[in-house]
Structure 1
Amino acid sequence: MNHFIPDHLIEEIRAQSDILDIISTNVLLKKSGQNYKGLCPFHSEKTPSFTVSPEKQIYHCFGCGAGGNVFKFVMEMEDLPFLDVVRGLASKCGVELPTFKPGQVNAKSNERNMLLDINQKATNYFIRSLMSEDGKSARSYLNSRGFNDKKLLTDYSIGWALPGWKNTFNLLKNKENFSRNDILRAGLIKQKEGADENNF
């Protein structure tokens, strides 16, 4: 199995994976102007607040703040790592991925993809934390600074980390199966006076 996927192929896969088609397999959508609306699959609701933009190839929920592109939707919906999602969509849209013989995989490229994956997982966790009950005070602070548009927060992947480094660390290590060394290399934690702590 190849571990490195060039950026231009990732972009080609994204461009050929129509977000409306992908999301429609999981969500009943109805046309609303230029966009489509439906019930959000990421939280319970009775009034549709989940919007898909075929033009921009993004989705956004005005209820819980979930949003992103086709890769992020499949990652969140199926709880899969980024590279697995890219491979799956490549197969669906007929994009051929490069294959490597043993020993041909570029180690730096392999590590780069792993670091991107771990940071994306952390970003998704921070976004969910901001929109959670625990993130209420953080949202109040953002509102006081003029950041009161949920779409803006989602589009720019603005999140919030719970106090203490162990919340993020435990999620990435125990649920996502990254090692402490992976998390350290990704820059999400650092060592200070012999102890681990958040690096932000």
Structure 2
Amino acid sequence: TVARKIESQFREDEVPEEWTAMRRLVWEKSIWTMLQENHWLKHKERVTLDAYLANGMYSSSFPVMQVSILAFSYQDVSQELKNRIFGHICQASRVVRLANDLRTHERESAQGRFNSVDLIAAGRPEMTLEGAREELTRLMDEEFEQLKKAIARERRTGATQQFLSHLIDSTQVLLDFYDLPRTAPARPDRLLKAS
């Protein structure tokens, strides 16, 4: 199975056991959240925006990739720091989920799927889909600003400071890749830093 192959690869690469719990959590959540989204679709369940975003931040590959980078690169950090960094990864994943939803809304809607654009519109009956897209863009920019401020407050991270800077850069690169209308201007220098 995929899980066994992943475990085998981590053992082969000598990733310390202390990262196993976080790694397993992210992989299991990733699989479970994809199943949850399919359940919602199959049973035509509409959920709250908060529930959708809490679920959706794991169903993208973004947190799996970021936790893997942490596990391979930063082995000797405290559990408290790992937990704080994981919180930043989750915040970045919400931003990426919102960006993905904005970009894929028309295609998903044509397939009978819903995403955060629909949930924002459903929460405000007077709002048009265009208004919901604008609100999603505002929310995405607000969440990204919160992420940047939270990371700027991190002063005791030592070796992981580079990772946190890269987390902002890679989130910005994904936003630029999606080429979305934004309330905040894109930063071309982020592309160079993240590569």
Provide TM-score, normalisation by structure 2.
0.31
The structure where helix makes up a greater share of residues is 2
Give the structure, 1 or 2, with the largest relative contact order (CA under 8 Å, sep 6 or more).
Answer: 2
The structure where strand makes up a greater share of residues is 1
